[in-house]
Amino acid sequence: MTGEALRSERLRKVYTTRGGPSVEALAGVSMEVRRGERVALLGRNGAGKTTFLKIASTLLRPTSGSIEVFGHDVARNPDRARPYIAVVPQEGKPFFHLTPREQVYTYLRTRGLSRETAKARTEESLERMGLTEIADRLAITLSGGQRQRTMVATVIATEAPLLFLDEPSIGMDPFARRDVWESLRTLTQRGSTILLTTHYLDEAEALSHRLYIVERGEVLVSGTADDLKRSVGGTLKVTIPQGAVQVDAFRSFGACVADGEHLSVIVAPERIGELMDLAVRSRLTATVGPVTLEEAFLRVVGRSINEE
């Protein structure tokens, strides 16, 4: 077997709708995910993330191009690929008339796990996702975040070799999100591979080894979070609360974003002293912090939108 869990080549998907215009949701996406990796798929609403995950998880057929899961062609041999994968779909809901405990257990049994294994995995997974106390309540009585935790618990309990999670932590509180991160890290330590989407860029940063940014159905950039930050011209951000009026004085240091009176400048570490001197001479207060992935994302995707 190869070292790859997933590989797609020039994957295209055109949705044709009756009466309406067709939509090219994927315009040739090539990517690969190595075994044991956690990879995040980022992109604006409508970029094509869910379409990609649906095709990868055999729920949708591509228009052209190829995609393989552990060497099995997903479109040609979906039955071969399916045992390797488990999916948390976007906006999925647990069955209303099942409890979290029943939901997780039943799903594991339908995947062919023995009673003993299914029972042990169910309990471990409920515990990991903080569901033990509410494990015997009907899903219909659970809060939105509790239902989403149940969805994630169901899928992590499979310990499938390849997990697809489409916005797994949507609607979860900050503690629950960290439970998800911890569970996914444990799974990859045990040998699983993870491909997830998220709009929480702190989550993408905390969790993923690598990321792909998709824009209008194409891969815009790929690499580590640090690669992406460096690509916007620096890894530090200087915040100058009253700096907007003097933006021209700071432009030579790097990308400037004025927001009301507020100015932020993305700058390389070697120029930070010079910039701070200028701020002091201009009688401006300035603070230095790291560039976040969100800022890098806004700049990289924003640049691409402006080029259109």
Ligand X SMILES: Nc1ncnc2c1ncn2[C@@H]1O[C@H](COP(=O)(O)OP(=O)(O)OP(=O)(O)O)[C@@H](O)[C@H]1O
Binding positions for ligand X, rule: CB under 6 A: 15, 17, 23, 25, 43, 45-51, 90
User: Binding partner of residue 30 among Mg ion, ligand X, none, CB under 5 to 8 Å per kind?
Assistant: none
Complex with ligand X: residue 51 or 125, whichever CB lies closer = 51
Among residues 23 and 255, whose Cβ is nearest to ligand X? Answer: 23
Stretch touching Mg ion by CB under 5 A, among 45-53, 119-127, 198-206, 212-220? 45-53
Nearer to ligand X, 158 or 198 (CB): 198
As measured in angstroms, the least distance from the Cβ of 18 to ligand X is: 10
41 vs 155, beta carbon nearer ligand X = 41
Strands (E), the chain: 4-15, 23-34, 38-42, 64-69, 72-73, 85-88, 162-166, 193-197, 210-215, 218-223, 236-240, 256-259, 262-267, 287-290
* Chain centroid to CA 120: 29
Which CB sits closer to ligand X, 28 or 233? 28
Lookup: tokens for 143: 């809060």
Contact call for residue 50 and Mg ion (CB under 5 A):
yes
Instruction: Select from ligand X, Mg ion, none the partner in contact with residue 193, using the beta carbon and a kind-dependent cut-off of 5 to 8 Å.
Output: none
Q: Which of residues 69-128 bind Mg ion (CB under 5 A)?
A: 90
The Cα-based distances of 248 to 138, 239, 251, 292 in angstroms read: 60, 15, 5, 23
Q: How far is CA 274 from CA 79, 89, 127, 252, 278, in A?
A: 61, 49, 52, 11, 6
Under a CB-based contact definition with an 8 Å cutoff, are residues 108 and 121 in contact?
yes
Of the candidates 297, 296, 274, 295, the residue with the CA atom closest to the CA atom of residue 286: 274
Structure tokens, 307: 């080029």
Residue 50: CB minimum distance to Mg ion, A: 3
Nearest approach, Cβ of residue 49 and ligand X (Å)? 3
With CB atoms as reference, the residue minimizing the distance to ligand X is 50
> Which residue lies nearest Mg ion, judged by its C-beta?
50
- The residues binding Mg ion (CB under 5 A) are 49-50, 90
